Amino acid sequence: MHTEYTDEELIKNWEGFTNHTIDVNGIKLHYVEGGSGSPLICLPGWPQTWYSFHRIAPQLAKHFRVFVVDIRGMGSSATPDSGYDKKTMASDIYEIILQLGLHEAFVLGHDIGGMVAMSLAYNYPQVVSGLIVADGLHPNEGMLQMPLIPAAGTFGDKIDPVHPYTWWMGFNQVRGLPEKLLEGRYYNLLDWLFRYVMIDESKMSEFEKEAYAAVYNQPERIRASNAWYQAFSQDIEDSKNYSKLTMPVMGMASNVSYGFYQYALPMAAEQYELVHLADTGHYMFEENLEAVIEIVCSYLMRQSV
């Protein structure tokens, strides 16, 4: 990996933040920490790493003690052969909370990180003060209705908010082949994906794309990140045993996910708020930073009173 994309180099622009590793459930996880106040754990999604919070975490650290974690299989964290169901991944985060003596924390998850955050809230509600899920709700049976073939006229250069075609959900189910096709070429997938799901793809810089590609160019990281998707069937089965969340939940939905959130969030949480970022694509931290910071800070401040 190029030196400029290492954790040690990337953290230099995060004033007051430091890199750490921690042993949980027999594996090592990487996280960064900064700020002071009530703890806030941030969980990134695919195909990004802890660095995806580089715009928002330093702002949040002005009010909170912020931890951004590379979840199992991500970034510099371990890539074990198993344990990518969201219940096991949630237990990783639970162990971090215990080991760091936090007792409880607010949790913010994006994409796959949102799925892990919800699983943490379902399985260990006693440690979750409040939950924010940004375009990433826990897998449920509705996912089984996603189309294999796009409806005529709905698959173009940009994702159709009414008829979203997310072909990578199927591609990432394939074992062994993606890493052979994408090793050393991951930039091509990243570049296409960000252009497809963002309204303004220019908000994702070339440096960011290269930094993520440097991580995901490695076959073991392609395998591990795809395992998050391959575990969806188990996640769906696990979801059938969960009761509604009782802690306050904030949902932030992009132009594509809002319809799903309107249906799924009331089924998942007893008390929730839902914000629709209608002019924002899936990578909302990059496209609509000011709105995201305002929503997150307002929610956390109200829950901290």
Q: What is the pLDDT of residues 250-264, one digit of tens each?
A: 999 999 999 999 999
In DSSP terms, 34 is beta-bridged to 66
The string of DSSP codes covering 27-64 is EEEEEEEE--SSEEEEE--TT--GGGGTTTHHHHTTTS
Q: Are 280 and 288 in contact (CB under 8 A)?
A: yes
Q: What is the pLDDT of residues 211-265, one digit of tens each?
A: 999 999 999 999 999 999 999 999 999 999 999 999 999 999 999 999 999 999 9
| pLDDT for the residue numbered 3 | 85
| pLDDT above 90: residue 192 | yes
| pLDDT for the residue numbered 1 | 60
The predicted model scores a pTM of 0.97
Q: Are 71 and 136 in contact (CB under 8 A)?
A: no
In whole angstroms, give the CA distance from residue 164 to residue 203: 21
| pLDDT for the residue numbered 132 | 98
Token pair in block for residue 248: 């306050």
| pLDDT above 80: residue 22 | yes
Cα separation values, 237 from 17, 93, 104, 115, Å: 38, 21, 27, 14
If phi > 0 it is left, if psi is from -120 to 50 it is alpha, else beta; for residue 184 that is left
Domains of the chain: 3-139+148-304 (3.40.50.1820)
| pLDDT for the residue numbered 303 | 87
Average pLDDT for 270-284: 97
In whole angstroms, give the CA distance from residue 251 to residue 258: 9
Least Cα distance to 283 among 199, 224, 164 occurs for 199
In DSSP terms, 81 is beta-bridged to none
Average pLDDT for 262-278: 96
Confidence label for 172 from pLDDT (cuts 50, 70 and 90): very high
| pLDDT for the residue numbered 2 | 73
Estimate the crossing angle of helix 219-230 against helix 206-216, to 10 degrees.
Answer: 90
| pLDDT above 70: residue 35 | yes
Least Cα distance to 122 among 131, 113, 135 occurs for 131
Mean pLDDT in the chain?
A: 96
In whole angstroms, give the CA distance from residue 49 to residue 215: 8
Q: What is the pLDDT of residues 116-160, one digit of tens each?
A: 999 999 999 999 999 999 999 999 999 999 999 999 999 999 999
Which amino acid belongs to residue 237? E
- Count of CA atoms in the C-beta half-sphere (13 A) of 128: 28
> What DSSP state is assigned to residue 103?
S
In whole angstroms, give the CA distance from residue 173 to residue 205: 28
